[in-house]
Structure 1
Amino acid sequence: MSAASVSHRSAVGHVPVSCHLRRAVGREHNPLCRPVDRARSRLLIALVAAVALSLAVGMVVFLVLLGGARAHARQSALHRHEVTATTLVASTASPTGSPWAAQAQAGWAYPGGDAHTGVIGVPGDTPAGSHLLLWVGDNGIPSTPPEPYGELAAAAALYGLGALAVVDGAAWIGYGIRQKTLERRGEAAWEADWERVEPQWTGRSH
């Protein structure tokens, strides 16, 4: 690559944003502006638009998923009820993999005073007669507690970031491929122009 080509690339790398905008819409009246320069400006504007779009897509995905998760959580919470369970025997070691340290036979009343008994997870070394809070469904069977809002928001944010990364990554990959193509085209055109002008400019043709 010639020194003239390097100098040209350095000069176009410091074009103001306003100039890129004028070039992109064809309103820059610079006789030195070539078609490849306008293509570079349009590519840069397209990249900025794609990045903005990725942010919008990520935000939309986050809000839609968060809204749906909150609605589902509210609906599920209507069928989750907190009752007081009383252990009937002392706790024993829980099977491997259980989130509780131990388990015990316990009794509770729901709904309408209906008595239920069953094995529930309890803290380790829980004696008989201990009172524990227990989440049950409408039928009185033990169930999972309502999902915390923080976990719902974190999950929605994770999916939103994933959508943002996909769109943004695709934009940057496309920009890189197109930029290399324009770079090769610009260098070829510049070298051809320089070979034509250089003999006259330096006086070598005489």
Structure 2
Amino acid sequence: MLHQESGSGTTPPRRPARRAALVFVLLIAVICGAVAAGSLWSAGSATDRELAAHRHQVTATTTGPAKDPSAATRYGTKPQAVAPAVWERPEHVRRSGSIHVPPRTSEGRAVTIWVDDAGSPARPPGSVADRALTSMSGGVAAAGVTGVTGAALVLLVRRRTEGHRLAAWEREWEQVEPVWSGRPHRGSGAGDDDD
């Protein structure tokens, strides 16, 4: 109210501008998250296609019982055991080695495994679910980082403008307060009116 009475032409409250800035930051964060998720999906799809071209499913036959179940290597996977087995890959080339099998798999059981072009056991190509999880996680992380960074910048700018506004208010008050209170301006001595 004092600002308006002093004729300083102060601006109205800046809340709508701050809200607009935060909405803009949110929009940018969502866009960044979507772009990151899309990029991760495309890159994952290309990698999975390339990997799938060099992965093959074959049927292996266990030559001994399963041993030593190991703990799950990631959330949601089942513990697996290791068993000796034989399989053919390339065709008519007999291979042997240890493969991952469900616990308590007995000797002579057929197990489907993934192998590479040379016939060695290999990890399977990524699934759509894995790729979707990776893409979504990356998108959420990108959106979160962008949102937090943008909000921090908006708050920093707000603090600086508040500081400038308060400093301007102080300068204006120094001009108005002596008129209001009837006391001399700061810096004016008692002998200033004796001329």
Q: 1:167-186 counterparts in 2 under 5 A?
A: 167-186=146-165
Q: Normalising by the residue count of structure 2, what TM-score does the alignment of the two structures yield?
A: 0.72
Higher helix share: 1
Rg larger in structure: 2
State the one-letter code of the partner of 1:147.
G
Residue 100 (structure 2) pairs with residue 125 (structure 1): no
- Cα drift, residue 39 of structure 1: 7.5
Q: Which residue number corresponds to residue 142 of structure 1? A: 121
- Cα drift, residue 181 of structure 1: 2.2
Q: 1:190-205 counterparts in 2 under 5 A?
A: 190=169, 193=172
Q: Which residue number corresponds to residue 90 of structure 1? A: 65
> Within 2, Cα distance between the matches of 1:146 and 1:33?
64
> Is the alpha carbon distance of 1:165 and 1:78 closer, same or farther for their aligned partners in structure 2, counting shifts above 3 Å?
same
Q: Which residue number corresponds to residue 81 of structure 1? A: 56
- Cα drift, residue 51 of structure 1: 2.7
- Cα drift, residue 67 of structure 1: 0.7
Residue 91 (structure 2) pairs with residue 112 (structure 1): yes
| Aligned residue pairs, count | 174
On the 8 A contact 2:62/2:85 being kept in 1, the answer is yes
Q: 1:12-161 counterparts in 2 under 5 A?
A: 32-34=9-11, 37=12, 45-94=20-69, 100-161=79-140
State the one-letter code of the partner of 1:174.
L
> Is the alpha carbon distance of 1:145 and 1:187 closer, same or farther for their aligned partners in structure 2, counting shifts above 3 Å?
same
Q: Which runs of 5+ in 1 are unaligned?
A: 9-30
Q: Which of 140, 160, 168 is 1:189 aligned to?
A: 168
Residue 141 (structure 2) pairs with residue 166 (structure 1): no
On the 8 A contact 1:87/1:104 being kept in 2, the answer is yes
Secondary structure at 1:111 match in 2: coil
> Is the alpha carbon distance of 1:40 and 1:98 closer, same or farther for their aligned partners in structure 2, counting shifts above 3 Å?
closer
Q: CA RMSD in A?
A: 3.2
On the 8 A contact 1:40/1:182 being kept in 2, the answer is no
Give the share of equivalent positions with the same residue, in percent: 29
On the 8 A contact 2:71/2:80 being kept in 1, the answer is no
> Within 2, Cα distance between the matches of 1:155 and 1:73?
13
Q: Which runs of 5+ in 2 are unaligned?
A: 74-78, 183-195
